[in-house]
Amino acid sequence: AIRRDDVRSSEAGLKYFVLGALSSGMLLYGASLLYGFTGTTSFAGIAEAAAAPGAATNIGLIAGLVFLLVGLAFKVSAVPFHMWTPDVYEGAPTPITAFFAAAPKLAAMALLVRVLYDGFGGMFVQWQKIVVFLAIASMLLGAFAAIGQTNIKRLMAYSSIGHVGFALVGLSAGSQEGVQSLLVYLAIYLVMTLGSFAVILAMRRDEGPVEDINELAGLAQTNLPMAFVLAMLLFSLAGVPPLAGFFAKFYVLAAAVKAELYGLAIIGVLASVVGAFYYLRIVKVMFFDEARPAFAPAAPYVHYVMMAAGLFVLFYAVYPAPLIDAAAAAAQSLRP
């Protein structure tokens, strides 16, 4: 909301403040319920209470868990707690939007994994149903709501909602393999998102930044390297092999299949197919539409981020071991 003369920024700031306060209140209320019914705030103490006989029928414990999940679902913008995301992404300055799309998502998802596995491993059956619902709703809304968008930052908002749904597929598997696939997914998503927003930052003419997707028309004729990098990132976001995004989706869907969540995996595949449409539409605009005036030269650091992200998604398949091994080590540190 720092741009006080901009109506969209003011609206975005107000929505985020009000809804953020609401979600924080729910999260704190859930934490207070958990403390009231377990007598502790430590993960070890909560895990002991959640594994005790009768925990699955303890209404207070379950209500506390639900309120806690509502607060965290807001932070990762999972449906139906996503309503702030499109407006905040569109209204905020692009560097701030890039931060929103990357850092809080990763931090909140890591917190979600710790809470559910370290604190509520004994109530897996109860929280799995909630996570499965959040995953399905997020994947479907992210796929269908983005189709009609004309603002690229708003489209990326719905794209991020869909990707949160895919990440939650790995979480819902309830296994170390599921957590490993979630962590790999988040790492790859981080790189793809930062690369995409670097391109959006470079969408600038002398009169200022532009955000309409049609402004990318004919980019391949005026700036082929930028068009190529954005196309690779979009193909990767869509899950086209052999790019990094394909492996990210493959890992989480494979974890769901191994956990016998066949319906969830099928919905994930179908949502990915629908989502590919709006990514491919941008590629079509860049390579086949009549060229618009060229963008102004971008700052060097923007090109470095674009180039690094493009190389990562292109060549991830060549040497994926470091990321997979790091994710496996992190997953093993959780309680089974």
Question: Which residues have C-beta within 8 Å of that of residue 280, sequence separation ≥ 6?
Answer: 234, 238
* CA separation for the pair 29, 31 (Å, rounded): 5
Instruction: Provide the token pair at 25.
Output: 């209140």
Confidence bin at 233 (pLDDT 50/70/90): very high
- Please state which of the ranges 52-56, 77-81, 90-94, 198-202 shows the lowest mean pLDDT: 52-56
Residue 336 in this model has a pLDDT that exceeds 60: no
Task: Please list, residue by residue across 183-199, b when 16 or more beta carbons sit within 10 angstroms of its beta carbon and e when fewer do.
Answer: bbbbbbbbbbbbbbbbb
Mean pLDDT, range 49-56, rounded to an integer = 82
Place of tokens 């430590």: 42
* CA separation for the pair 82, 78 (Å, rounded): 5
∠ Cα 50 56 58 (to 5°): 85
CA atoms within 13 A on the CB side of 73: 25
Mean pLDDT value across the chain:
88
* CA separation for the pair 243, 252 (Å, rounded): 15
Q: What is the pTM of this model?
A: 0.90
Q: Cα–Cα distances in Å, from 258 out to 14, 181, 221, 250?
A: 43, 12, 46, 12
What's the alpha-carbon Rg for the chain, to the nearest Å?
21
* CA separation for the pair 266, 322 (Å, rounded): 29
Q: Residue 260: left if φ>0, alpha if ψ -120 to 50, beta else—which one? A: left
Q: Cα–Cα distances in Å, from 150 out to 154, 155, 190?
A: 8, 7, 23
The reported pLDDT for the residue numbered 268 is 92
For the stretch 114-162, pLDDT in tens is 888 888 888 888 888 889 999 999 999 998 988 888 889 889 999 999 9
Phi, psi of 212 (to 5 degrees): -70, 135
Residue 28 in this model has a pLDDT that exceeds 90: yes
Confidence bin at 335 (pLDDT 50/70/90): low
Mean pLDDT, range 207-217, rounded to an integer = 85
Q: Cα–Cα distances in Å, from 18 out to 10, 34, 157?
A: 12, 25, 19
CA 52 to chain CA mean position, Å: 34
Local structure of 151: helix, strand or coil: strand
